């Protein structure tokens, strides 16, 4: 049994403008000791799905369905009381902005102690000792002194370390890190990622890391789920996603980011348009308005997340056939542009033959 198993999770927010389909039927599982990377842009639902795991999206205007099994218990059915005993104890979360997630009026040590006392039967002195220990563990120099300082006396990297210390205070089984390094400089980012990996090895926890940075997931994730418009469009091992990506959106992401190891002469290939509204979503495949390989059928048929033939554990939601996808990716990888490869998608339709033309 997986530590965390999310099945067909849907989260909708009812607003004055309409229903926002923030998360639309996603499923994934995380095993103890492994790291799942969830990649996507703003508004892809990656944060909402994990906030829902923590029970932080509950409220009058939210509609949630599906199941989130944590050690066999459905968190969606759990009472607020039960959730409180799990949150910060079995499942902990690190947020993106460490300055706004730490209380400015309380000392860092006090906030760490509070986290422990909420779940453990400890004396205050013992909790404080443990707080010092934790600050030491996450590499904050001079923890005896630092424990009595306020968040504003910490640098950005140290605040993020303090957040991690707080998340680890009760040795969680699952750590959810939402863009943990986005606000940090690159050398500090490297320190924090190394720290998270080191702690994972020592404590054996499962980690879900949410990020828009493909570089970060390539470094630390075992498995990757790519989200677009509230859905998982591709899911596989890190090697599968980077060596044989299947979804045009994943290709777009990989080709549109500047890379350290690619020289100046290469043009970036942007993904045209912008992410869709989650209130009025496109028909058919949600990615079709931005997809260079769109066919008429894609505007009407909504693809399911299905296994990729001959690549165990790799799933994709795309209407192109596996053979065509393979050819297109080979072309993209050898430097051809999407325009010249569009023909490949057309040959497929010709071969399929029976597909009726709709409209123009």
**Binding stretches for other proteins (CB under 8 A):** 41-42, 141, 155-158, 185-191, 193-194, 212-219, 238-239, 242-243, 252-254, 256-264, 266-272, 274-275
Q: Which residues contact 77 (CB under 8 A, 6 or more apart)?
A: none
* DSSP single-letter state for residue 14: E
Nearer to other proteins, 18 or 270 (CB): 270
Q: Which residues contact 16 (CB under 8 A, 6 or more apart)?
A: none
Smallest distance from other proteins to CB 91, Å: 26
For 200-245, the DSSP string reads HHHH--EEEEEES-HHHHHHH-SEEEEEETTEEEEEEEHHHHHHS-
Q: Which residues contact 43 (CB under 8 A, 6 or more apart)?
A: 229, 275, 278
Smallest distance from other proteins to CB 199, Å: 15
Nearer to other proteins, 124 or 274 (CB): 274
Sign of the torsion formed by the C-alpha atoms of 138, 140, 142 and 145: negative
Smallest distance from other proteins to CB 351, Å: 30
Nearer to other proteins, 170 or 250 (CB): 250
CB burial readout 161-183, b (16+ within 10 A) else e: bbbbbbbbbbebbbbbbbbbbeb
Q: Cα(177)–Cα(196) distance, rounded to whole angstroms?
A: 10
Short-list 53, 76, 44, CA closest to 4: 53
Nearer to other proteins, 190 or 279 (CB): 190
Smallest distance from other proteins to CB 349, Å: 26
Q: Which residues contact 229 (CB under 8 A, 6 or more apart)?
A: 24, 43, 44, 45, 275, 276, 278, 281, 286, 287
Nearer to other proteins, 147 or 216 (CB): 216
Smallest distance from other proteins to CB 356, Å: 32
Smallest distance from other proteins to CB 64, Å: 26
Nearer to other proteins, 42 or 123 (CB): 42
Smallest distance from other proteins to CB 39, Å: 9
Nearer to other proteins, 25 or 275 (CB): 275
Q: Cα(292)–Cα(100) distance, rounded to whole angstroms?
A: 40
């Amino acid at each position: 049994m997986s530590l965390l198993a999310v099945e067909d999770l849907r989260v909708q927010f009812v607003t004055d403008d309409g229903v926002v389909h923030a998360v639309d039927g996603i499923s994934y599982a995380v095993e103890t000791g492994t790291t799942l990377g969830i990649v996507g842009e703003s508004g892809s639902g990656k944060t909402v799905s994990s906030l829902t795991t923590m029970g932080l999206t509950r409220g009058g205007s939210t509609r949630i369905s599906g199941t989130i099994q944590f050690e066999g218990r459905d968190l969606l059915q759990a009472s607020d009381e039960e959730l409180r005993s799990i949150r910060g104890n079995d499942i902990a979360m690190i947020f993106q902005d460490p300055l706004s997630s730490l209380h400015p009026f309380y000392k860092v040590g006090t906030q760490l102690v509070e986290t422990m006392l909420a779940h453990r039967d400890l004396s205050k002195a013992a909790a404080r000792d443990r707080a010092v220990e934790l600050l030491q563990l996450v590499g904050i120099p001079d923890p005896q002194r630092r424990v009595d300082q306020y968040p504003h006396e910490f640098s950005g990297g140290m605040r993020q370390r303090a957040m991690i210390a707080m998340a680890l205070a009760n040795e969680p089984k699952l750590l959810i890190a939402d863009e943990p390094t986005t606000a940090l400089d690159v050398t500090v980012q490297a320190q924090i990622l190394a720290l998270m990996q080191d702690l994972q090895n020592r404590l054996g926890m499962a980690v879900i890391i949410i990020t828009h940075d493909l570089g970060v997931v390539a470094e630390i994730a075992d498995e990757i789920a790519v989200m677009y418009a509230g859905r998982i469009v591709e899911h596989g091992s890190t090697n599968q996603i980077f060596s044989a990506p299947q979804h045009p959106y994943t290709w777009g992401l990989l080709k549109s980011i500047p890379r350290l190891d690619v020289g100046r002469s290469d043009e970036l290939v942007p993904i045209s348009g912008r992410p869709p509204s989650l209130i009025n979503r496109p028909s058919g495949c949600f990615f079709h308005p931005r997809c260079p390989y769109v066919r008429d059928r894609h505007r009407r048929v909504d693809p399911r997340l299905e296994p990729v033939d001959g690549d165990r554990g790799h799933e994709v939601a795309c209407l192109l056939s596996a053979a065509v996808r393979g050819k297109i990716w080979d072309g993209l990888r050898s430097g051809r542009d999407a325009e010249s490869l569009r023909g490949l998608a057309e040959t497929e339709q010709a071969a399929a033959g029976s597909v009726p033309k709709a409209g123009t």
